[in-house]
Amino acid sequence: GQNIDQPTEMTATEGAIVQINCTYQTSGFNGLFWYQQHAGEAPTFLSYNVLDGLEEKGRFSSFLSRSKGYSYLLLKELQMKDSASYLCAVRVTLRDDKIIFGKGTRLHILP
């Protein structure tokens, strides 16, 4: 089966750094995505990793280890507006091609 695990909730302080972990067990792995979703809104794209290593984009970085089935999203210099859910998602290509979403990690930022 296909499975994606990430913590349900995390709390961090404004200005700090937080790391959100994601582990996956999938067949046909073809890339990993991170999305941000504010309450009541649509998910929006943050990052994409298809090869091992770190991708940096401003305050956000994402890491992938395909051999370990592991990824993390690193958020630096946290701002109150970063309070949201963060979804780990894996593209799986077998007979068809689809993206499977984790249940998301709700991040609370404290002032």
Partner 1 sequence: DSGVTQTPKHLITATGQRVTLRCSPRSGDLSVYWYQQSLDQGLQFLIQYYNGEERAKGNILERFSAQQFPDLHSELNLSSLELGDSALYFCATDSPGYGYTFGSGTRLTVV
What is the rounded CA–CA span in Å between residue 30 and residue 1? 16
* Nearer of residues 89 and 111 to partner 1, judged by Cβ: 89
Q: Which of 53, 80, 96, 111 binds partner 1 (CB under 8 A)?
A: 96
Q: 1, 40, 58, 111: which one contacts partner 1 (CB under 8 A)?
A: 40
Give the DSSP letter of residue 20: E
**Six token digits for residue 12:** 């961090």
Task: Name the one range near partner 1 by CB under 8 A: 11-19, 20-28, 66-74, 87-95.
Answer: 87-95
Residue 19 to residue 75: CA distance in whole angstroms: 6
CA 44 to chain centre: 11
Helices (H) and strands (E) in the chain, counts: 0, 11
Dist CA 28 CA 106 (whole Å):
28
Please report whether residue 99 would count as binding partner 1 according to CB under 8 A.
Answer: yes
Binding status of residue 111 toward partner 1 by CB under 8 A? no
User: Cβ 48 to partner 1, closest distance in Å?
Assistant: 6
The verdict on 87 binding partner 1 (CB under 8 A) reads yes
Name the residues that contact partner 1, by CB under 8 A: 31, 33, 35, 40-45, 48, 87, 89, 91, 96, 98-104
